[in-house]
Amino acid sequence: MEKLGIDAKVMLAQIVNFILLFIVFKKFVYKPFMNALKTQEKKEKEALDKIQEYEKKEQALYNKKLNLETDYEEKLKKMYAKMKKETSEAKRQILKEAQSEAEELRRHNLELIENDRTKMLGEIKKESLKIALALSEKALSQVVGAPLQSEIVKEISKKLPNIKNVN
């Protein structure tokens, strides 16, 4: 080796120096560096796990919100349908009551009209009979004497209904 210009002592010293440098490098540089890398990877993994956990929670909350909104909308629709049904039933009931009241009022008014009509017809008959009797008396007074007139008026009064004593 000496022919090549390599000194064995220097080479041995360089090999020992290299091994020592490698051991020192491995112990003081490589291991802390690798530990720092592992720690950094672990922190990044934990951060990613937390991010995924928060995303899952966010998604769960979003789904819960959607479910609540859907439930709320369904409840609103049911309540609206129920209220619409109740109002339509109330409307029908009110209309039915109003119609029955109107029919009752109409029936009552017809009875009143019929009663008034009957009374008026009765009064008209009485008045017409009174007038007929008065005309008969006047006509008879001019044609016959007083005693015969009174007898004829009595006979006519008996035959005419609803006339008691006109005189």
pLDDT at residue 151, rounded to an integer:
78
Is 82 inside any structural domain?
A: yes
Is 31 inside any structural domain?
A: yes
Is 80 inside any structural domain?
A: yes
Which pTM does this prediction carry?
Answer: 0.41
pLDDT at residue 130, rounded to an integer:
83
Is 166 inside any structural domain?
A: no
- Each residue's pLDDT tens digit in the chain (167 positions)? 667 777 888 889 999 999 999 999 988 898 989 999 999 999 999 999 999 999 999 999 999 999 999 999 999 999 999 999 999 999 999 999 999 999 999 999 999 999 999 999 989 988 888 887 788 777 777 777 677 777 777 777 777 665 544 44
Is 93 inside any structural domain?
A: yes
Copy the structure tokens of residue 20. Answer: 């020592």
Is 47 inside any structural domain?
A: yes
Copy the structure tokens of residue 136. Answer: 């008969």
CA 71 to CA 79: how far, in whole Å? Answer: 12
SS3 46: helix
Residue 128 domain boundaries? 2-159
Q: How many structural domains are present in the chain?
A: 1
pLDDT at residue 134, rounded to an integer:
81
Is 167 inside any structural domain?
A: no
